[in-house]
Amino acid sequence: MNGLNADDALLYYIDSNGEVLNELNWGGDFDDAIHFLAVHDSVIYACGGLGISDSTQLAWSVQLNLNLDVIGADTVFTYSNSSLEYMDFHGDTVFTLGTYAIDSLGVRGSFFSRKESGNTIWSWDAYNFEAREIRFENHLIYLPGTNSFFGLGGAAASICLLTENGNFVDCPSFGDIGDEGFYAMSFKDEIPVLVGNSNSYSEFGDNDVYVVMLSDS
């Protein structure tokens, strides 16, 4: 849309009847994307990747008011090919998740942080673990995703657990000879419910969708 053969981030504000009230086109000379939206204290947070070359994106966040006017923008991670994926708000506390790739090594990783009133309290980098969401519940941080450490033949579905202070607790993982992954989670009576996929048990070797409810937190 910017005339330079690059993808721009596009955001629509739509009413309950499906009518477009406003739209925002955000982009530069290279590919840009929005992967997640959150609204907190009347501020819209649009999270994604900001293109800085033909092959490189940096994780970024744009803050908008409800009229879609830009009131702030931040590059939040400096690894090449990184993207901001998720935010979980609790008052003045915000937990942030992003992912990155190191092309020369073929490795994917994740980065997490906790901020209080805009100040970073702690940050954490998980090499070879690709988280999909960051959720704060039961005074624990839950990070569903995939990793290549515990799979018997491929990537395993994992839940990385941290304390609210950023200390590692455990990383229960589920995998067989194929690839598994968790992509989203919710809670029922404080018990994790996860959605993911697996090709380990498929009759035809394809990816099947699984919903998993754990027995406890």
pLDDT in tens, 12-23: 888 888 888 888
Confidence (pLDDT) at 35: 86
Which one, of 108, 64, 68, 102, lies nearest residue 85 by Cα?
108
Q: Which residue has the tokens 């309950």?
A: 16
CB 46 within 8 A of CB 60: no
Q: What distance in Å separates the CA atoms of residue 151 and residue 177, rounded to the nearest whole number?
A: 7
Taking the CA atoms of 208, 187, 85 and 129 in sequence, report the sign of the dihedral they define.
negative
pLDDT digits (tens, 9 = 90+) for 132-171: 999 998 899 999 998 875 544 567 888 989 999 999 998 8
Q: What distance in Å separates the CA atoms of residue 88 and residue 95, rounded to the nearest whole number?
A: 5
Mean pLDDT across the stretch 13-40? 83
Residue 177, pLDDT > 50, answer: yes
Mean pLDDT, the chain, whole residue set: 83
pLDDT digits (tens, 9 = 90+) for 69-125: 889 888 777 667 888 899 999 989 999 999 888 766 666 789 999 999 889 999 988
Question: Given pLDDT bands bounded at 50, 70 and 90, which one contains residue 24?
Answer: confident
Q: What distance in Å separates the CA atoms of residue 118 and residue 125, rounded to the nearest whole number?
A: 19
- Please tell me the total number of residues recorded for the chain in this structure: 217
| Contact partners, residue 34, CB within 8 Å, separation at least 6 | 9, 10, 11, 26, 46, 47, 48, 62
